[in-house]
């Protein structure tokens, strides 16, 4: 299931159409938290969803490219994935590289992490 706010709505609609993934649309914050609470495993970048997943005690696959992974505490309920190519843009609003790092984080790597976290529930 795809979740996100108004800024992700168009992208999530495209992804749902292309993949067949469930996308229930956007929700006010309390509704978003309620839907997220029904999830077994959450995949998130370093966003509000990450904080909510940790607070809800959810299994988490955290996609991280610019932060020091030692700064995160997942309380034994998740794992941190990073792209194969190191990020050199850090906190820039847009990637400055001709080949960005995030595409080197392979879907099969994320899928394997999700399956590990689901099995650990």
Segment 1-58, tens digit of pLDDT: 999 999 999 999 999 999 999 999 999 999 999 999 999 999 999 999 999 999 999 9
Q: Are residues 77 and 117 in the same domain?
A: yes
CB 45 within 8 A of CB 98: no
Among 18, 54, 21, residue whose Cα is nearest residue 36: 54
Q: Are residues 108 and 54 in the same domain?
A: yes
Cα(49)–Cα(23) distance, integer angstroms: 16
Q: Is the pLDDT score of 90 beyond 80?
A: no
Q: Are residues 52 and 105 in the same domain?
A: yes
Residue 96 DSSP SS3: coil
Instruction: Look at residue 71 in the predicted model and tell me its pLDDT.
Output: 92
CB 101 within 8 A of CB 63: no
List b or e across 90-109, with b for residues whose CB sees 16 or more CB atoms inside 10 angstroms: eeeeeeeeeebbeeebeeeb
Q: Is the pLDDT score of 111 beyond 90?
A: yes
Cα(38)–Cα(3) distance, integer angstroms: 12
Q: Are residues 119 and 63 in the same domain?
A: yes
Q: pLDDT tens across 58-78, in order? A: 999 999 988 889 999 999 999
Q: Residue 57's domain spans which residues?
A: 40-121
Q: Are residues 61 and 99 in the same domain?
A: yes
Q: Are residues 32 and 59 in the same domain?
A: no
List b or e across 20-45, with b for residues whose CB sees 16 or more CB atoms inside 10 angstroms: eeebeeeeeeeebeeebeebebbbbe
């Amino acid at each position: 299931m795809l979740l996100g706010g108004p800024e992700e709505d168009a992208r999530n609609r495209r992804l749902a159409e292309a993949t067949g993934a469930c996308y229930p649309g956007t929700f006010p914050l309390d509704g978003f938290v309620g839907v997220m609470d029904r999830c077994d495993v959450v995949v998130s970048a370093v966003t509000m969803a990450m904080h909510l997943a940790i607070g809800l005690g959810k299994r988490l696959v955290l996609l991280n490219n610019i932060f020091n992974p030692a700064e995160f505490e997942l309380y034994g309920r998740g794992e941190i994935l990073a792209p194969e190519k190191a990020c050199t843009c850090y906190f820039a609003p847009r990637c400055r590289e001709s080949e960005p790092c995030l595409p080197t984080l392979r879907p099969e790597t994320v899928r394997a992490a999700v399956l590990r976290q689901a099995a650990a529930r």
